[in-house]
Amino acid sequence: MNTLKHYFYLTSAILSGSCLVAMTLLILSQIAARAFGVIIPSSEDFAGWLLSATIFFGLAYTFNEGGHIRVTILLSRLSGVTLRVVEFLNLSAGLLISGYMAYWVSYTAYESYIYHDVTDTYLAVPLWLVQLPMALGSLFFSLAVVDNFLAALKNQTPGYASHENEMSTAE
């Protein structure tokens, strides 16, 4: 099971990194094309969509690695049962928020597919294609929160907390 989780988080990171590389190459291509008087249609739009995909695909990996901003000044002063209760409440809130976000972002992409919506840019792209990375990234993030929530329920250290502990001892 740990191997499956490892590949899940690695897939999230690879998708995020791939979108970042694609966005960089697109922007560099546009810069080079302008030097020759050529314009790549809707390149700014595609770069923005790739940026959104980069952010949302990276959420799950970043969360599990402890890369999200947390207010550890309070948490570092707690211990034992109090810390577990606060972590459980935080994960519960995160689970509700990420689940809500994943549901509605996915529903919006589904509606765009059903109604055949297209972007209002120079190139008419099906809107659901643009929204799909955001929906998948939101779903990945929700699964990451569920994974860490279940670890906390089993009295195990959640992935983000173990990485935070590693970072604090390395300093």
Q: What is the full DSSP assignment across 31-81?
A: HHHHHTT---TTHHHHHHHHHHHHHHHHHHHHHHTT-S---HHHHTT--HH
pLDDT above 90 covers a percentage of the chain that reads 72
Mean pLDDT, rounded, of the chain: 91
Q: According to the model, what pLDDT value does residue 170 have?
A: 55
Per domain, the residue ranges of the chain are 2-170
Give the Cα separation of 118 and 20 in Å (integer): 24
**Residue pLDDT, tens place only, 71-125:** 677 777 888 888 888 889 999 999 999 999 999 999 999 999 999 999 998 899 9
pLDDT at residue 146, rounded to an integer: 96
Pure H helices in the chain:
2-35, 43-64, 72-75, 80-114, 127-153, 159-170
Beta bridge partners of 126: 118
How many whole angstroms separate alpha carbon 13 and alpha carbon 141? Answer: 12
Q: At what angle do helices 127-153 and 159-170 cross, to 10 degrees?
A: 80
Rounded to an integer, what distance in angstroms lies between the CA atom of residue 159 and that of residue 149? 10
pLDDT at position 169: 58
Q: Which amino acid is at 165?
A: N
CA atoms within 13 A on the CB side of 35: 5
Q: What is the pLDDT of residue 166?
A: 58
